[in-house]
A and B are shown apart, each in its own frame.
Chain A
């Protein structure tokens, strides 16, 4: 966003202005799909709020409608009932201030990594003035040396990092993450989780993470919203005030994990 950049009068250098996270309001949202002539309810009167700069995780079993909720937040689809708003403005369509990182990196295979990251700026005709922003974003995710590579030459983790850079280059106020590390191997996943937390700490955007991985939710988020099976309803909210970086073996985290598992109805079986 051009508005996020300002020229420093003293040095004449362009400095990124401290960005601001957006507040997200979801109130009474219900959604349903038509499947083989039957109406399939996926979300049932869901309400929650995210403060500016907060890291919220939505945790729920597979197929509970988490991804649908993210599509509604992104503005890709309108909800059947209820209201979604960002900073008080109703979400009516996609907007580059809310960027999604999908489960699948879905880089465009015909574009180099650099041109994939440039996608958002190019779509809004901002590319000419902000070419350095792309180089910066690539450096941020550790892909500076792969600017001219094609997606098929990247590993799964590198592709997901490129997708992250493609999102971050737009200076989002709300970063929507749909199981972004679900397809990565466990080592890459751990590294990427740490990277995401440090990116979030530096950039102060609001992050909304959807995951079915309890540990991931507790490691990354300040607040975990536990969803029920389809149609998704909010079962519980678990607040995690522990400072970052967090450690998997931390006894407090283990205790929180037990609590979350109990909410998911798995207290005896693990």
Chain B
């Protein structure tokens, strides 16, 4: 076999594979398969009658939403053939397909066949019903939760940052604060709950304190470690150029510690969600945690699922927001962890 024949023999299957996996054809196939799955979900929901012993009033609306999704996915896939920008969306085609299939099986398993026991596993249209009919109460809960969270995280984050900088910078502050931090810091903020509700005048202020505590600890520790790990050569450079101590703190130590600070904020935000929900379940009479508790009391499982869905969206949205902020402020860093 001549070398060129050999390379042909090796290359032919590779070329065929490349043709099959070419971006355009893949985006079409994946996108249209996803659209078809959504259409199937819509069709099953609309045409297949619900079990006779149930009375779901939003089946038609759910089918319409599935249909809208199907049309949207199909349109984007079609446009993707022409427009380069939309082609990036083809990565989500398998996910869209899987999501449609999941909803389809859920629908069949609950509303159509009743394989999963009620009231623990309501069909998708029941959750849709809650989202639409109980939106006033849900939106109030979202607002209350966000308000409480914002107050606590802002307080804990800023105090934690200042204390962290102080410990990292001043030996005296470190001497006094460090042992307290080491002793009290690892205690879960929720352990303070009974005491906090007793000491503070209102459950709102008590919860704010607990959320601040939960956020503040990781922010303090990581800010401190960030300040402590600043390359000492950065200080030497600034000092030989005539920098005063205030410049060394504000323009050298703090900017250099910012990557650590953001890790602390990320951990603190995660802690704050946990404390928020517990505080709302046990004391505060509003918010998504309270809504969950209330829904469970009425055995309204569809409401619980709706609240969980919203909670996941809100928490994930806040973390995304934090990462966006970090990407903006720390654009000088290379190899950032993507969220």
Contact = CB atoms under 8 A, between A and B. Distances in A.
A109 B333 CA distance: 7
A117 to B, nearest CB: 11
Interface string B326-337: 000010111000
A96 B242 contact: yes
A99 interface: yes
Contacts of B231: 106
The B contact surface, by secondary structure, is helix
Interface residues of A, number: 27
Interface stretch (B71-79, B196-204, B247-255, B297-305): B247-255
A165 B244 CA distance: 21
Contacts of B237: 100, 102, 106, 119, 166
A123 B233 contact: no
Contact of B236 (A102, A108, A111): A102
B238 interface: yes
A108 B242 contact: no
Nearest to B334: A152
Nearest to B252: A108
Contact of B243 (A75, A102, A111, A123): A123
A95 interface: yes
Contacts of B150: none
B244 A123 contact: yes
A119 B238 contact: yes
B256 interface: yes
A96 B247 CA distance: 15
Nearest to A104: B233
B155 interface: no
Interface string A125-136: 000000000000
B258 interface: yes
Given A123-B247, A150-B332, A152-B332, A106 B241 contact: no
24 contacts: A71-B236, A75-B240, A76-B236, A76-B240, A94-B240, A102-B233, A102-B237, A108-B234, A108-B255, A109-B332, A110-B258, A111-B332, A119-B238, A119-B241, A119-B243, A122-B247, A123-B238, A123-B243, A123-B251, A150-B332, A151-B332, A152-B334, A166-B237, A166-B241
Given A106-B233, A119-B241, 4 more contacts: A95-B240, A102-B233, A111-B332, A119-B237
